[in-house]
Amino acid sequence: MSGLAHAQALCRRFDALCFAAAAILCLCLPADAQQQPAAHGLSAFGDLKYPADFKHFDYVNPDAPKGGRLAQIGPGATLTFDSFNAFILKGDAAQGLTLMFDSLMVRAADEPDAVYGLVARSAQLAADRSSVVFHLRPEAKFSDGTRVTSDDVVFSFQALKEKGHPQFRLLLRDVTAAEALDAATVRYSFKGNQVRDLPQIVASLPVLSKAYYATHPFDQTTLEPPLASGPYRIGDFRQGRYVTYKRRDDYWAKDLPVNRGRYNFDEVRFEYFRDRTAQLEGLKAGDYDLREEFTAKDWATGYNVPAVREGRLVLATLRDESPSGAQGFFINTRRAKFSDVRVRKALNFAFDYEWTNRNLFYNLYKRTNSYFENSEMKATGPPPPDELGLLEPFRRSLPEEVFDSPFLAPVTEGSWGDRANLREAQRLLREAGWTLDGYFEAERNCGAFCRIFRAAFAERQWPRVRNAKGETLDIEFLTNEPTFERVIAPYVRNLRAIGIQATIRRVDPAQYERRVKGFDFDIITTRFSMRLTPGVELKDFFGSESARVDGSRNLAGIADPVIDALIAKVLEAGSRQELNTATRALDRVLRAGHYWVPHWYKASHTLAFWNRFGRPAVKPRFDRGVVDTWWYDAEKAAKLAAQ
């Protein structure tokens, strides 16, 4: 207790110094840049759920026991890793590295975008939001015992912006400077009108040690464990097989309100398998503790084992209130064959989701239509006046369908090879200049399609579509997951039936990562998770600048000035209502561009885990909360071992 009391006394003296420094600073600043009062948290629209004296987040058990191990397959797990540097484009970074690094502030998982003080005790926004000043805690330390200073914060920003992954560079483009005003005070400055989210973004950047990276190249891959500032450090690992994180007993921030009841496991381990089938069998064999199930067939049939029936292996469905994200077949419009929107729209009509959901997914999913599915940001019906106000200036540049109800993916009866949709797909291809070989070109009726399918089953040569130059339309689906081929294969058959030479190309994980980062693909499957308050990352997903940046998430290569302008409207929104209006308008234009063939979603997390864990009564609204808030239950573990 004496150590804690001493730290509290230091904090009080530190606060007094900070406020004195802030007062001097304000006298030197122009009126429009003067700071607002110091705040314990930040949010996009200024609303905070938790008061300055809050004790812990509502979704944790503040008295959760510490100890035990959680071994898991991480959400969206990659199949291998070769680096402990998650901040650069090179290499395949291990999962869980975020457990090692603190940030100035940390997000509350039951609010849309609020962050609260961690390394920074408080933050002061300029009245015009053109800058933000953070006041650091004097007790903040790296794992080697050295103090975290404003020089470390400035170095972290500069390294990420200048040498980091392109995603960091895009996020931080409008952050003009980070300045160390003294050892415990940092000021970030912003430019332009799209600064609403920048204070939260810079507050959430990892804090790295300037001294450590003076002797360790920041821009190189490495398997040397980096110096930590967060609650965990790297323990034992085996490249491409597993990596273990050990909880730090000396972690400086373990008793702060933002951390009470969190990080309860002594050890967190991430396992790697070459495919999902091996993952599932490994779980049932007890090789690890928990995985989120993303394969509907496995969730429906793969857990019919005694351990589940006896309650030893638990199946849990946790509600997910965050936007369900944009998953689909993303079409690389950088390639000339996909430049015509009618070709991309034809690909949409050739995909039979209803058959896929019924025969492969046991009807467990709903069809995705929007890039902001499962949220208030999804566009529906004809655009109301507020959305029209944003769209009308671009009417001459937009297809007429944008001003009607937004595009909905075509529906089938669920019988393979829906002829009406395939005829529509073929019509769109003809309009775009792609015509079928031979007699298939002349015949438009149902009989022609019947002959196409009979020819397919008889293993005869498929018809081909050709353009005026005689070129065929060939499409390659790039994947690194054999389990997903069962989804792609029926789609390939439909595409071949309308004259497209479609193939599946499976490559190893390392080659897949290289090709995706360099946009060397026709079509790939991916999923983007949208934030509850979308911001500057939309430029990375859909902005013209990111279409030219290797490693960006603009996989479709979208480069449209109208979309850029609507993204700007999202970033400039001054209220939640304005944000929803702008995202809905953006959603309409994106859907009219047919940059993807949308997949499916479920508004829940489906978890399978061995019954040796406790969890809070309240789940965080917008997160799984597994590593953050669960704990090892020794009594359950002993019972499980006895069974």
Q: What is the spatial distance between Cα 156 and Cα 144, in angstroms, rounded to a whole number?
A: 17
Place of tokens 């230091």: 10
**Amino acid letter for position 16:** A
Residue 132 is predicted with a pLDDT of 97
**Residue 584: other Cβ atoms inside 10 A:** 24
According to DSSP, residue 461 is labeled: P
Tell me the percentage of the chain whose pLDDT exceeds 70. 90
Is the pLDDT at 547 greater than 80, yes or no? yes
Within this chain, do residues 313 and 339 fall inside the same structural domain, yes or no?
no
Question: Is 224 inside a domain boundary?
Answer: no
Mean pLDDT of the chain: 90
pLDDT greater than 80 at residue 439 = no
Closest CA to 562 of 596, 533, 532, 585: 585
The 10s digit of each residue's pLDDT in 280-319 is 999 999 999 999 998 888 999 999 999 999 999 999 999 9
Q: What is the pLDDT of residues 198-226, one digit of tens each?
A: 999 999 999 999 999 999 999 999 999 99
Q: Are residues 244 and 376 in the same domain?
A: no
- What is the domain count for the chain? 3
Strand 474-479, strand 523-528: pairing:
parallel
Q: Which residues are registered as beta bridge partners of 147?
A: 141
How far is C-alpha 301 from the geometric centre of its chain's CA atoms? Answer: 28
- Tens digits of residue pLDDT in 34-54: 678 999 999 999 999 999 999
395-419 pLDDT tens trace? 999 999 999 999 999 998 877 657 8
Same domain, 624 and 582: no
**Between the CA of residue 228 and those of 92, 97, 184, 205, what are the distances in Å?**
19, 10, 19, 14
Within 13 Å, how many C-alpha atoms sit on residue 517's CB side? 15
Say whether both 448 and 565 belong to one domain.
Answer: yes
Note the pLDDT tens digit of each residue in 369-379.
999 999 999 99
DSSP 3-state of 465: strand
Q: Is residue 222 part of a domain?
A: no
The first and second tokens of residue 296, run together, are 């509907």
Domain holding 255, by residue range, is 232-322+605-642
Same domain as 418, residue 559: yes
Residue 430, both tokens: 């003809």
DSSP labels, 492-556: HHHHHHTT-EEEEEE--HHHHHHHHHTT--SEEEEEEPPPSS--THHHHHH-TTGGGSTT-S-TT
DSSP states of 402-451:
GGSSPP------SSSS-HHHHHHHHHHHHHTT-EESHHHHH--SHHHHHH
Confidence band of 9 (pLDDT split at 50, 70, 90):
very low
Both 581 and 619 in one domain: the answer is no
* CA gyration radius, the chain: 27
**163-201 confidence digits (pLDDT tens):** 999 989 889 999 999 999 999 999 999 999 889 999 999
pLDDT for 24 equals 30
Range of weakest confidence among 380-394, 414-428, 449-463? 449-463
Q: Residues 330, 281: one domain?
A: no
Q: What is the DSSP string of 185-209?
A: EEEEEE-SS--TTHHHHHHTSBP--
DSSP states of 242-286 as a string?
EEEEEEPTT-TTTTSTTTTT----SEEEEE--SSHHHHHHHHHTT
Range scoring the smallest mean pLDDT among 329-343, 425-439, 519-533: 425-439
CATH number at residue 438: 3.10.105.10
83: in domain? no
pLDDT at 592 over 70: yes
Structure tokens at 200: 């939260």
443 part of a folded domain: yes
The CATH code of the domain that includes 289 is 3.40.190.10
Residue 196 placed within a domain: yes
Locate 379 and state its tokens. Answer: 């566009």
Q: Looking at the structure, do residues 199 and 240 belong to the same domain, yes or no?
A: no
Looking at the fold, whether 187 and 273 belong to one and the same domain comes out as no
Residue 123 lies in a domain: yes
- In this predicted model, what pLDDT tens digit does every residue of 495-515 receive, in sequence order? 999 999 999 999 998 899 999
382: nearest Cα among 227, 585, 85: 585
507 inside domain: yes
The verdict on 518 and 382 lying in the same domain is: yes
pLDDT the model gives residue 438: 57
347 and 269 co-located in one domain: no
Would 81 be classed as within a structural domain?
no
Q: Which of these three, 213, 244, 261, is where a domain ends?
A: 213
Report pLDDT for 42: 97
In this structure, the answer to whether residues 492 and 637 fall within a common structural domain is no
- Angstrom distance (rounded) from CA 336 to CA 355: 31
